[in-house]
Amino acid sequence: MESLQDLDVEYRRRFARVAAYRESVWRILVADCFQRYVDPDGVVLDLGSGWGEFIRNVRAARRVAMDLNPEMPGRVGPGVEAILHDCSQPWPLADDSLDTVFTSNFFEHLPDKDALRRTVREACRCLKPGGRLVCMGPNIDVVQGAYWHFWDHFLPLTDASLGELLGLTGFAVERSVRRFLPYTMSQGFRPPPFLVRLYLRCPPAWRVLGKQFLVVARKLPPARAA
């Protein structure tokens, strides 16, 4: 995996100039899409939280952010618990302590499939039975070669391959969308935020412009997961 210094510098190079735009887009994404998966009275973890655009905007009784970027604790905002931690190692969280784990554009940055499997197993351990894992990321089946235009992409994933892993690690997939959001907000065209809201309300457009998958899974009760 990258050094902490690389994470810090690379993130600023890639996102600093579009930080305000990303914040405005994530405010809409959370309100119009992702909040439905997060209980306002529950506990949510933003896995690979980056600068915290999701966790800052979501409503929950307890909000936790996990990342290795040393800038993360100073970026996520007030009221968010920051955990600087390698997600592929045992998490400093209790069993059955989370209602939702959310992750966006993160799994592809893990170094290999073993690291991803360990990460998903930790998510399963820390989620309550019935708790949700919500995953979004670039679908290599759609993005193809452009997937590798980012230096820190290591794992090629699709909604199907991720769904198979989740089925092997104690989850049941309840929603799988092959094409959801466009690929990136850090390069190229940046539509006005009001168009983002319209896009979310128009699934036929996803089939044309969507290059990221959305996978939502629930943790199975112990008897069913065994």
pLDDT tens for the 226 residues of the chain, in order: 445 446 666 655 665 567 888 899 999 999 999 999 999 999 999 999 999 999 999 999 999 999 999 999 999 999 999 999 999 999 999 999 999 999 999 999 999 999 999 999 999 999 999 999 999 999 999 999 988 988 889 999 999 999 999 999 999 999 999 999 998 765 566 788 899 999 999 999 999 999 999 999 999 998 765 4
pTM score of the predicted model: 0.91
Its domain, for residue 142, covers 4-225
Domain count, the chain: 1
Give dist(CA 123, CA 157) in Å, integer: 18
CATH of the domain at 95: 3.40.50.150
CB contact at 8 A, 71 and 11: yes
Q: Which two tokens stand for residue 29?
A: 């994404």
Between the CA of residue 193 and those of 16, 24, 149, 187, what are the distances in Å? 18, 7, 25, 16
pLDDT of residue 8: 61
Give dist(CA 139, CA 34) in Å, integer: 19
Q: What is the DSSP string of 137-192?
A: EE-HHHHGGGGGGSTT------HHHHHHHHHHTTEEEEEEESS-S-S-SSSS----
